[in-house]
């Protein structure tokens, strides 16, 4: 089974800060990495798919990148509406999928 | 416009079988590359992927729960179903269904349905 290790589990940042969240895969997943945002009491929202592709309607301050087996979600300039829990999901095509443990992002 | 909505019993007792329905519109589960997945989230905890069903009736399950899960679909009526056998209090969670498009996961989500397992 593929494990996804997400870090940090929680963090606080100030408005305008650059924020980076990381997931590490236990096996090669290619670019099959996605990021979701979940605000309190809401269903998750897809933000990034295929490691680097911005989902429709997602602000351009969000971006995804890959370095080896590490995948990152970056918010270039934090806004108040970005407070949420973020999850990565590996989705190796047509196989079993795995979410990371989540990162709770709060305002400092 | 794509919509998905989960429905279920709300509450059930340990050892019973949980049956959930995902009723959707705006897409067809017979379209190549399309799928529906089920995801759950215990209160205050993270997301857990459970299972996917694909347009060609392929099915994949979370290995830790595989023996208790069964996913199926009714393409004509735009529904997907999830059964979990022998439920326990640990199965108490909000259950979501979500659409997969061209193999890309979870573009659209339902609002979720809360399920409580209690004696």
Q: Is A40 on the interface with B (CB under 8 A)?
A: no
Residue A92 contacts residue A32 (beta carbons within 8 Å): yes
* pLDDT higher than 90, residue A65: yes
Q: Is A52 on the interface with B (CB under 8 A)?
A: no
Q: Which residue of B has its CA nearest to A49?
A: B104
How close does chain A come to B102, measured CA to CA in Å? 10
Query: What pLDDT digit, counting tens, does each position of B77-111 carry?
Result: 999 999 999 999 999 999 999 999 998 999 999 99
Long-range contacts of B10-14 (CB under 8 A, 24+ apart): B10/B114, B10/B115, B10/B116, B11/B115, B11/B116, B11/B117, B11/B118, B12/B87, B12/B115, B12/B116, B12/B117, B13/B117, B13/B118, B13/B119, B14/B87, B14/B88, B14/B89, B14/B117, B14/B118, B14/B119
What number is the average pLDDT over the span A58-75? 97
pLDDT of residue B60: 97
pLDDT of residue A14: 98
Query: What pLDDT digit, counting tens, does each position of A2-14 carry?
Result: 999 999 999 999 9
Of B37, B58, B38, residue with least CA distance to B101: B37
Q: Which residues of A touch B105 (CB under 8 A)?
A: 34, 46, 49, 89, 91, 97
Are A43 and B103 a contacting pair at CB < 8 A? no
What number is the average pLDDT over the span A76-83? 98
Query: Where does the pLDDT of residue A95 fall: very low under 50, low under 70, confident under 90, or very high at 90 and above?
Result: confident
pLDDT of residue A94: 74
Q: Which residue of A has its CA nearest to B99?
A: A46
Per-residue model confidence as pLDDT tens for chain B (119 residues): 999 999 999 999 999 999 999 999 999 999 999 999 999 999 999 999 999 999 999 999 999 999 999 999 999 999 999 999 999 999 999 999 999 999 899 999 999 999 999 99
Query: What pLDDT digit, counting tens, does each position of A5-40 carry?
Result: 999 999 999 999 999 999 999 999 999 999 999 999
């Amino acid at each position: 089974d593929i494990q996804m290790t997400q870090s940090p589990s929680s963090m606080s940042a100030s408005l305008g800060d650059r924020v980076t969240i990381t997931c590490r895969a236990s096996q090669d997943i290619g670019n099959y990495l996605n990021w979701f945002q979940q605000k309190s009491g809401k269903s998750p929202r897809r933000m990034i798919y295929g490691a680097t592709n911005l989902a429709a309607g997602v602000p351009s301050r969000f971006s995804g990148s890959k370095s080896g087996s590490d995948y990152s979600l970056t918010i270039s300039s934090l806004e108040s509406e970005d407070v949420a829990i973020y999850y990565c999901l590996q989705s190796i095509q047509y196989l079993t999928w795995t979410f990371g443990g989540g990162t709770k992002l709060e305002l400092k | 416009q794509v919509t998905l909505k989960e429905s279920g019993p709300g509450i059930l007792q340990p050892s019973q079988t949980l049956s959930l329905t995902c009723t959707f519109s705006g897409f067809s589960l017979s379209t190549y590359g399309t799928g529906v997945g089920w995801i759950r989230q215990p209160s205050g905890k993270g997301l857990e992927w459970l299972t996917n069903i694909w347009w060609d009736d392929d099915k994949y399950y979370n290995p830790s729960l595989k023996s208790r899960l069964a996913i199926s679909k009714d393409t004509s009526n735009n529904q997907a179903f999830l059964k979990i056998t022998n439920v326990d209090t640990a199965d108490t969670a909000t259950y979501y269904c979500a659409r997969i498009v061209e193999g890309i996961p979870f573009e659209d989500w339902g609002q979720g349905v809360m399920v409580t397992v209690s004696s």
